[in-house]
Amino acid sequence: MKPLLLFLLTAITLTSFSQKPLKDFYLKRTLSQDGLQYEFSVLDEDKHGILHYNKDKFYFWYKAQGVKWTQGESSGTLLHGEFESFYENDQLFQKGDFKRGLKCGEWMHWREDGSLVYAELWHKGELKSKKWYNGSCIRLSPDEQNKK
């Protein structure tokens, strides 16, 4: 009896963890725009977007088969999650993450030959630092950030 219960418990556990909701598939998007290939996710339409936009920040969104960005507002489905763009030769151009339309975390930018140009650190849509891979490093002060 114990082996049968153990088998049933294992089977139920494996099937429940092995299935990914189909809805997640529809949140992924790919498109060609401005000579680049984009792969990204958008905010689930069932989740709330932004109640109050910050007029100083740029929001990135998807509408009419294109990625758009505007300062202080959006008019489409906000980008949310991993974002990648590629050159025509399939080499990475940039990679980073969005949270509710705002850049967050590390963003990296490459040349068409695959060499790294710079890496940026973002927090809630604000650029915190930028490191160039030619030897110099720029750290933005709060005053410099407010000038943007």
Determine the Cα–Cα distance for residues 78 and 24; give it in Å rounded to an integer: 15
Determine the Cα–Cα distance for residues 84 and 142; give it in Å rounded to an integer: 28
Digit-by-digit pLDDT tens for the chain (148 residues) are: 666 655 555 656 555 555 444 444 448 899 999 999 999 999 876 566 678 999 999 999 999 999 999 999 999 899 999 999 999 999 999 999 999 999 999 999 999 999 999 999 999 999 999 999 974 445 555 555 555 4
Q: Give the largest Cα separation in the chain, rounded.
A: 72
- Provide the residue ranges of all domains of the chain, joining segments of one domain with +: 24-147
Helix locations, 19-123, DSSP H? 22-26
CA 20, 41, 119, 105 torsion: positive or negative?
negative
Both structure tokens of 28: 């992924």
Both structure tokens of 103: 């850049």
